[in-house]
Structure 1
């Protein structure tokens, strides 16, 4: 059997038995190397090389910033959103979408977004007699804005594997992220009006001004991060460090709703999440080396080429593949596994590497909602205390809308390539 295929099959089997993805990847790589009589020293060498990237430093900082925010700044962002749009029917659903987009512009994580934003707005929606299944659905679906809207941890991982500029990937994901946010906001408005969901009293300009004044430091955080990256003031890695420092200063000395005692647990949680991702990235370098040596990418390329020579068909098949993988595997793990395999195919068919990365990331984010993995959907449903079947039925229209956007960014390259090209000129 091809040793590259051994890694893929071994990874899937071990993961199904509940072994953590990074361990499954490492064990599969060791087995394949033993079968090919490759020296085990390669595993450590390639693993170090995979993690020896300055762009990867952004991951622990963004995770830490998101964890700090979830304990402090999130409530301010929700309060500002509610002040402006709380008078609309179904406003809490709309607030959930807006707050998720704002939170996502800092954390880059879907799980962190559903935990921080959904953990606040889902109980509030239930208190106002929103259907529990809808509360779970809108909070879970809005949470995938976290890894779509820049900064995105999945895109940082993809950039580290391919060598593509992370800043360009962030720019390319802006339009898809905004499209999804607008579609979800529109659906929340439609649902609120159709089912006559409650609305709050319209706040006076003075009340809105007071709310904005109280939360302005929280609102400035995504502005500073994204403005700094896109304005060329600092790199994504530097922006992540700025986000942590800013979040700490605001939480400790401005809002004073976080103590030094809380910092220990925040650092531990962030360290565990960071270690898991970086181990996967490092081991992916080792496994991708073995896969490349095995000739598996060339076999896949020749197989696809013998089936069709149309980039349109290739992209459709890849999307179907990713949607299936997203149902079974965590997003970063899927990107780590599939990128080295499919990169030669993408280049051979002349598909833009930035577009491909964003299409793959968007696919994997949809996987955060779809069972059996669907971790954001499971978390949102648990927070709402709803039946999973009812929540999945409620999220179905939003999933369909996200699939339409996926097809748009797949077949209209300008949606992902125009902005990076325009700002690079």
Structure 2
């Protein structure tokens, strides 16, 4: 089944369609064509889980705010804050990505919003286009680590884990990843003499902060409501849409009907891509459950080793390889239900494991041949993907270091979870 799926993907068949073909082929082979009678109901049920409603809402909130010049305001504030540092534009790129991550939850949306502004600006200032594309791509991956995160929501649904606790677990690793990338960017700037953007001016910091103040309220509304237990993640996403409409249309007065229509169309297309994957994978999930393949896999690996550290190493390698070929949503939907019996059997905390999965697949967004985020960044920069990948390797190294820290020092991601929820 896996070889068939990879073969179809290599033939450029869309991943959702490939999942559906493989699932229906396996079901008809083992149970005859009668086993396909409930396929439509299974797909519909798999795509209509209440927590999944948060995905289109977060996507829409990000699209609306992007249509309301949020990107420009955030970049102006980050420029005033970090522009005096050597290689200031690179710092601005990372800092803005960290903030935008608290709104969109999508790395591709981050690249689309920030890359279209910052990559041309970096090229104009003399940064190599490969470096500009690499730092934009890698920093965008922070959007799947810092809450709210669409891959985290998908994982929580598939693993029957707490969305809120996984969100909290991502805060410290996200900050560590952003700090590590900033340190690496500063080293590059010193080595290659990249320019200082502007002299630090406290008045400019205050004026740009005031201009973006309403935008800063959005993460407070989303994360404050969720972490405070006032709303669920899905309700927080709905509040984010309402807040985005109010800020963009009433406060900034830059969201007209034309921009709202474009944001809604963009959000609908992104949502359709994810939800079609969810629906198709529901078929495969039913077949795998009926055949008890997850339990068989758990028993097989447990027969090799019952050491939790060794199992985590095996799963890390497995997800890193999967990330080379599958979109993060597809990988979560396809693989997480299969490995969860093993995770429970060796005593790994599902919340801890959720962050490990998210980080692995975030790295997969940077590693060809699929590398959805890297390709989006290269497209904006008009740079060769393999040339950008060579420059991107040290930034991928930062993400790998965070992954190892998260995997083998559970206190790093779980300390806040333990403090607030356990």
The TM-score bracket by the shorter chain reads over 0.9
Write the deviation string for residues 363-382 of structure 1: whole angstroms up to 9, x where unpaired.
00101110011121112122
Q: Which moved more, 1:303-312 or 1:167-176?
A: 303-312
**Structure 1 residue 10 corresponds to structure 2 residue 16:** no
Question: Which shows bigger deviation, 66-75 or 397-406?
Answer: 66-75
Aligned counterpart in structure 1 of residue 18 of structure 2, from 24, 38, 62:
24
- 1:35 aligned residue (29, 35, 56): 29
1:45 counterpart (31, 41, 49)? 41
> Of 218, 225, 230, which aligns to 1:228?
225
Aligned to 1:370: 367
- 1:170-189 alignment runs, 5 A limit: 170-189=167-186
- Deviation of the 1:181 alpha carbon: 1.0
C-alpha RMSD of the superposition: 1.5
Structure 1 residue 404: deviation in Å?
1.2
CA contact (8 A) 1:82 1:95 kept: yes
Within 5 Å, which residues of 2 pair with 1:347-386?
347-386=344-383
Aligned-pair distance for 1:203?
4.1
Task: Please give the secondary structure, in 2, of the residue aligned with 1:286.
Answer: helix
User: Quick check: 1:304 aligned with 2:301?
Assistant: yes
Q: 1:338 aligns with which of 332, 335, 340?
A: 335
Q: 2:405 aligns with which of 404, 408, 411?
A: 408
Whole-Å separation in 2 of the counterparts to 1:52 and 1:248: 25
Q: What is the TM-score with the length of structure 2 in the denominator?
A: 0.95
> Is 1:242 matched with 2:239?
yes
Mapping of 1:85-124 within 5 angstroms? 85-124=82-121
Q: Which residue in 2 is equivalent to 1:254?
A: 251
Q: Aligned equivalents of 1:421 and 1:138: distance in 2? A: 33
Tell me which residue corresponds to 1:59: 55
SS at match of 1:58: helix
Q: CA deviation at 1:347?
A: 0.9
Q: Is the 8 A contact 1:228 1:234 kept in 2?
A: yes
Q: How does 1:261-340 map to 2 (within 5 A)?
A: 261-340=258-337
Q: How does 1:192-231 map to 2 (within 5 A)?
A: 192-231=189-228
CA distance in 1, matches of 2:162, 2:42: 21
**More displaced stretch, 81-90 vs 387-396:** 387-396
Give 5+ residue unaligned stretches, structure 2. none
What is the rounded CA distance, in whole Å, between the counterparts of 1:356 and 1:158 in structure 2? Answer: 10
Shift of 1:207: 2.2
**How far apart, CA to CA, are the structure 1 residues paired with 2:196 and 2:135?**
17
What SS is found at the alignment partner of 2:272?
helix
Structure 1, 106-115 or 241-250: larger mean CA deviation: 241-250
Question: CA–CA distance in 2 between the matches of 1:43 and 1:361?
Answer: 29
Alignment map for 1:412-423 (pairs within 5 Å): 412-423=409-420
The Cα of 1:191 is off from its aligned counterpart by 1.7
Indicate if the aligned counterparts of 2:19 and 2:280 stay in contact, CA closer than 8 A: yes
> Alignment partner of 1:39: what SS?
helix
The superposition leaves residues 360-401 of structure 1 with CA deviations (integer Å, 9 ceiling, x where unpaired) of 111001011100111211121222223333311111111112
Give the aligned partner of residue 75 of structure 1.
Answer: 72
Change (3 A) 1:13 1:177: same
1:209-250 alpha-carbon deviations (Å, 9 max, x no partner): 211111111122222212221122221111111111111222
Aligned residue pairs, count: 419
Q: 1:41 to 1:168 in 2, by over 3 A?
A: farther
Structure 2: how far apart are the matches of 1:384 and 1:329? 24
| TM-score when normalising by structure 1 | 0.95
Equivalent position SS for 1:151: coil
Aligned to 2:81: 84
Cα separation, 2, equivalents of 1:57 and 1:387: 37
Of residues 105-114 and 160-169 in structure 1, the stretch that sits farther from structure 2 once superposed is 160-169
